[in-house]
Amino acid sequence: MHGTKHGMARSLGFAAAGLLLAIGLNSASASAAENIHQLAGAPSRFSSVEGRDYRLVAAHPKDASGQVLTDIPAWRIDVRDSEGEWEENSDAKLPAWQPSIPAALRPHITLMHANAVGWIIVPRGWRVQRAVVGDDGNAIFNFIAPAGAATGWLTLEEIPACMGCMYSAADGILPDAHKLHDALMETSTPKPTLSPKPDSLSYPNRCTARLAYRPAQSPAVQAVLMLDQRSDPNFSAIYAALPGDQVALTNFILATHRTAHTDCAL
């Protein structure tokens, strides 16, 4: 019986790794041989094709008071599923945009909505690099600056169900994630080294990590990762590599993402 359980755990681990690789989640990149967790870098390996993999549809969201936002461009990102069907959505089904947007930032942002992740704040003029939602809900959205990812990029990842995927994505970053991953896989391994080495790594609460690091061929990255293991487990991460003169926008993007995931527990 123990052998069967151990085999199932290992199979789950391989399945998790394969699933993350299949949809290209950045935080899943790790080297088993060297035990290195490669942090997300500029998205260039994968891309989605507009009209084939996703489509952009103009949206007209309302704010918390019920007023239509008229001064900020907004788009729906409709993703084609594995069976070739398009997601169905409409302005009437969109959730209201709740956060207050500082006046100084309003000319610099676009709002995008995807069913899998909700609203996303994107620097104005940036384009979709990748939009993928797996059959189990694992999702990744990449956005890049007009001149390319080397000048700016933004990545949002969501893992809503697969525990092995969540622990792998958080391994070496969030407290206890490595121990939980080892327990799930029935292994005993050293904690991975993060690469690049973070300039800073802090924990606003037990299930949230805030980190900064400098990948190659990219602006410096500010990131927030969250792991919620309650009755409806979820891992969420946002990586913002904006130009150095857009600190206020970077902080607003990260703070808004955290606000949407305030109730979490590890």
Q: What is the pLDDT of residues 33-84, one digit of tens each?
A: 568 999 999 998 899 999 999 999 999 999 999 999 999 999 999 999 888 8
Q: Are strands 208-213 and 200-205 parallel, antiparallel or unpaired?
A: antiparallel
| pLDDT of res. 13 | 45
pLDDT the model gives residue 83: 85
Peptide bond just before 196 cis, omega within 30 deg: yes
151 Ramachandran zone, left/alpha/beta (phi>0; psi -120 to 50): alpha
pLDDT of residue 263: 64
Give the Cα separation of 70 and 2 in Å (integer). 61
Reported confidence tier of residue 247, pLDDT bands at 50, 70, 90: very high
pLDDT at residue number 25: 57
Q: How far apart are CA 220 and CA 244, in angstroms?
A: 8
pLDDT at position 22 over 60: no
208-213 β-sheet, strand order: 127-133, 139-144, 153-159, 234-241, 221-228, 208-213, 200-205
The structure's pTM equals 0.87
What CA–CA distance (Å, rounded) separates 178 from 168?
Answer: 8
Residue 17 has pLDDT above 50, yes or no: no
130 contacts 97 by C-beta, under 8 angstroms: no
**What is the residue extent of each domain of the chain?**
2-215+234-259
b/e map 196-210, b = 16+ CB within 10 Å: eebeebeeeeebbbb
pLDDT tens string 130-184: 999 998 889 999 999 999 999 999 999 999 988 899 999 999 999 889 998 899 8
Average pLDDT along the chain: 87
Give the pLDDT band of residue 262 (cuts 50, 70, 90): low
Q: What is the pLDDT of residues 86-131, one digit of tens each?
A: 988 888 899 999 999 999 999 999 999 999 999 999 999 999 999 9
CA-closest candidate to residue 154, choices 127, 174, 132, 188:
127
Predicted local confidence at residue 12, as pLDDT:
45
Cβ partners under 8 Å of residue 17, min gap 6: 28, 164, 168
Helices (runs of H) and strands (runs of E) counted in the chain: 4, 14
Mean pLDDT of 1-9: 41
